[in-house]
Chain A
Amino acid sequence: MIFSTVCNLLLAHNLDVTQGQELNLKKLNTSEKITSTHAVAWEKQLIAYEESLRANPWQKQLQSIAHNKMLLTGVVLGLIVLGLAILGPVFYDADYARQSLRNAHKPPFFEGYFLGTDSYGRDMAIRLFIGFRVSLLVAAAVTALSLLVGVMLGMIGGYLGGSTDRVVRSSTDFIWGFPLILVAVLLVGGLGEGLFPVILAVGIVNVAAITRVVRGEVVGLKEKEFVEAARAAGVSSYRIMWRHLLPNVLAPALIMASYLIAVAVIAEAALSFIGLGAQPPLPSLGKMIADGRGFLRINHWEATIPGIGIVVLVLAVSMIGDGLRDHFDPRLRHERGRKKNK
Chain B
Amino acid sequence: MNIDFALTGGYASLNLTLQVETENLPAELAAQIEAKVAEAGFFELLPEALKPKEPGPPDVLTYRISISTPGRSQTVVVNDLTAPEALRPLLGILQDLAWEQRRRAR
Partners in one complex: no
Residues of chain A at the chain B interface (Cβ within 8 Å): none
Residues of chain B at the chain A interface (Cβ within 8 Å): none
